[in-house]
Amino acid sequence: MINNFDFYCPTRILFGTGTEKEAGKLVKEYGGSHVLLVYGGKSAVRSGLLTLVKASLESEGIDYSELGGVVPNPHLEKVYEGIRIGKATGCDFLLAIGGGSAVDTAKAIGYGLAEPDRDVWELFRHVRKPAACLPIGCVITIAAAGSETSKSCVITNKKTGEKRSCNSAYACPKFTLMNPELTKTLPDYQTESGCTDIMMHTMERYFTNGAKMELTDAIAEGLLTTVMKNALLLHEEPDNYDARAEVMWAGSLSHNGLTGCGNTADDFVPHKLEHELGGMYDVTHGAGLAAIWGSWARYVYRDSLPRFVRYATHVMNVNAKTSDAETALAGIEATEDFFHKIGMPITLTELGISPTEEEIEKMAESIAGAYGEIGSAKKLAKEDFIAIYRAAK
């Protein structure tokens, strides 16, 4: 029986060339009078995008302050800095310019400004739930995280080495401006890491046990095959607008909940495993996911065998083997072959890291301490996390 679900995606999307010029009009439409611009600083400045957005705000009589310097695996200290600026300036709207790191930083700042007397990190430690968030808009320059249409937010506490998420509909952006042209300056490694992240957001909802919805499966499988096709194309033709448009739209659809509607539960164990790698080693998120996924898949596939068989035949075009187990394993191998074709690692060694046994123990303990037993493809605990990390080396 198909599972009940609650699908909520309130974000307004303007997609296509030149949409970034609409930032000022939309901020005004959604009630913003003093905006905090949140961005990384290099490409947004160098490309002239930041100047264009400022001009758009100025044309609508909207004041703004700035928070630059956001980095991948965005840091809690930068969130605190943004909260301080927002309090001092009377910020009533946040505009993220960049990718998932800028958007997630803006969301966390929005939580902090909405409850200025509470420590925002409490939300990521899950000791309390969000009660509000300032309104957020996005100008996207990287197709990857899907944060521009999702309720999700991930922040890294460098002092503790923890990379933690907070999920609440309060943080869903009011609008997102998506111009695929803005992604053309990305290095190939960043483009393909983004494509991998998009795939993983869908796969985390796909490899689950329990109720399924045929239409949702078809959407997920179509998204995966589309991203794979265009990831290969962009590896050879980085200026291909249509391929970038397909990937950018897939990124938003992959993480707004659509590809999990009707399913019993999400999995997201590979993400939890990678978050620890990101917190400890500051690795590129999509590449980290690629490096850990194959080991996770081989560890759990027998407990979710029909899903892995369907994935192998419907997504990876594997011909059925003598047994379902062989078919499933062939699908896993085909996925790793694909990752190699787009320049992604499939082991921790290829990722450029070599965790010690002590570090593996620490990462596994961190996951278990924060989440307990998790997983839908297969329920996993601390010893399972250790085994997967070891197998990924």
The predicted model scores a pTM of 0.94
Per-residue pLDDT tens for 135-149? 999 999 999 999 999
Strands 34-39 and 152-157, bridge-based pairing: unpaired
Tell me, what's the pLDDT at 388? 98
CATH class of 12-182: alpha beta
For CATH 3.40.50.1970, list the domain ranges present in the chain. Answer: 12-182
Tell me, what's the pLDDT at 1? 67
Per-residue pLDDT tens for 38-47? 999 778 888 8
> Can you tell me the mean pLDDT for 102-112?
98
DSSP state of 2: P
> Can you tell me the mean pLDDT for 219-225?
98
DSSP 83-132: HHHHHHHT--EEEEEESHHHHHHHHHHHHHHHSTTS-THHHHTTSS----
Contact between 74 and 155 (Cβ < 8 Å): yes
Q: How confident is the model at residue 202 (pLDDT cuts 50, 70, 90)?
A: very high
For CATH 1.20.1090.10, list the domain ranges present in the chain. Answer: 188-392
Q: CATH number of the domain at 188-392, please?
A: 1.20.1090.10
Nearest to 246 by CA among 51, 16, 39: 16
> Can you tell me the mean pLDDT for 320-328?
97
